[in-house]
A = this chain, B = another copy of it.
Amino acid sequence: MPSDPDWLAPRLTDSLGRYTGACLAFCEPATTEEVSQIVRLCSEHGIAIVPQGGNTNRVGAATPDASGDQVVISLRRMNRIRSVDASDFTISVDAGCVLADIQNAAEEADRLFPLSLGAEGSCMIGGNIATNAGGLNVIQYGNTRALVLGLEVVLADGTVWDGMRRLVKDNRGYDLKQMFIGSEGTLGVITGAVLRLFPAPKVHATALCSLDDLDGALKLLSIARNHAASSVCGFEVMSGITLATAEELIPDIRRPFDPLPDWTVLLELSDPRADHDLGPTMEALLAEALEDGAITDAILATSEAQRANLWRYREAIVAAGVQRGAVVRHDVSVPVSEIPDFVRACDSELDELLPGVVPYVMGHMGDGNLHYHMAPPDGMSQEEFAGHVPALDARLYDITARFNGSFSAEHGVGQAKTGQLETYLPGPQYAMAQAIKKALDPKGLMNPGKVFPAT
């Protein structure tokens, strides 16, 4: 019950436990019309609104401030799959559908909805769209933005915009849905969406490769794309330290290569043709990569169980990072070809700043996206380390900017990174973003304090 503090508490705290807010009311409308009525009332009375989906956001974007003056609109009850159109390769959904439910509905129609990320069992598609979520399949299918054909949005004054198009091509003026995708609730409340589906993948080929350096990873990526093009569906890099930590802290994780290499890449191909054996393609590309010196060894999964086992390394290093106290907060991107130099620059400059700091690096390298985390030097307490974090963060963002990168590749800005947005976004872009905000939310009532600082 919304009036019960125990019920309310987890809904007013973000998923990382960094922000806790209060609210004037916590609303759970069941229809677009009800959302519209709430927004209209709030607009008339000058009350700020915080839209919330599965509350899995990493930057506090769905948590109200502490004033108790804001109204939270949860989309949770709007969880209907409106229609699945297999021959159109589209699905129409309410914004409160859990991502995994959409994946399942697509699968039942022998289709794939490719968005996939750790929180898929609880995150909701409205939030995925509002944050332009990334995840594991971006290399093959693009970000959430690339998967959205149409949107239904309750605008800041309560007006319902029915933009539920199922059109691949539509050049009737500005493509306004693009402004709501990735706007983190600051322009309106997304209540529905039309999403693209794809032929369901039927076969996979998966390999774990050992590498001496990230230059090799870059070569491997190019070789993989030349051989397998858009069949490349996973390209996850993991540093030696992350695997060593997983081996130490996670039960049942055996070292895949002995000695552990400096870098490991989990490479996966997929294809929707059940009779299409990807084995020869994978073998050919690995042979070329070995010959080329891009990789030093490779393990090829020959069964579904072995494939699952290779993916366990990727999952284990995330869990191990948390146990080790790695500060899990960096989600940067740089041009793919810059990644080797970028990581070398970070490793050396951060070590200069705090000798012994442990870079804990993994990432979706095919997208140029690295989760460059840091763990405290051996023997340093979390408390002491915390004192160094702001300087380490600032340096990492500076290096990212120097490499023409982004301080937020997939997690967005929320309330956690409004300062970085002001600092690192080119001036004209920041001013334009402010102008757009003012144009679509003139009263400034849509999720204030997110993306832009609270005023």
Contact = CB atoms under 8 A, between A and B. Distances in A.
Interface residues of A, number: 88
Nearest to A134: B169
A144 to B, nearest CB: 10
Contacts of A178: 175, 178-179
Contact of A229 (B175, B271, B440): B271
A175 B429 contact: no
A85 interface: yes
A77 to B, nearest CB: 24
Contacts of A162: 426
A174 B179 contact: yes
Interface in A399-436: 404-413, 420-421, 424-426, 428-430, 432-433, 435-436
A411 B171 contact: yes
Nearest to A428: B161
B167 A406 contact: yes
Interface stretch (A25-33, A300-308, A317-325, A334-342): A334-342
Contacts of A142: 146
Given A163-B426, A229-B199, A439-B438, A171 B408 contact: yes
Interface in A204-260: 218, 221-222, 225-230
Nearest to A228: B273
A1 interface: no
Q: Which of A222, A426, A428 has the most CB of B within 10 A?
A: A428
Contacts of A436: 174, 176, 179, 436, 439-440
A433 B174 contact: yes
Nearest to A335: B166
A138 B169 contact: yes
Copies in the complex: 2
A137 interface: no
A167 B334 contact: yes
A74 interface: no
Contact of A168 (B89, B221, B369, B437): B369
A344 interface: no
A408 B221 CA distance: 39
A237 to B, nearest CB: 15
A281 interface: yes
Contacts of A155: 428, 432
Interface in A154-193: 155, 159-163, 165-176, 178-179, 181-183
Given A198-B230, A435-B439, 10 more contacts: A87-B222, A88-B337, A89-B225, A165-B406, A167-B333, A167-B334, A168-B369, A170-B333, A199-B226, A229-B273
28 contacts: A87-B222, A89-B336, A134-B169, A138-B169, A142-B146, A145-B175, A163-B426, A163-B429, A167-B334, A167-B335, A167-B368, A167-B404, A167-B409, A168-B333, A168-B336, A170-B408, A172-B407, A172-B425, A173-B182, A173-B413, A173-B430, A174-B183, A199-B225, A199-B229, A435-B439, A436-B436, A436-B439, A436-B440
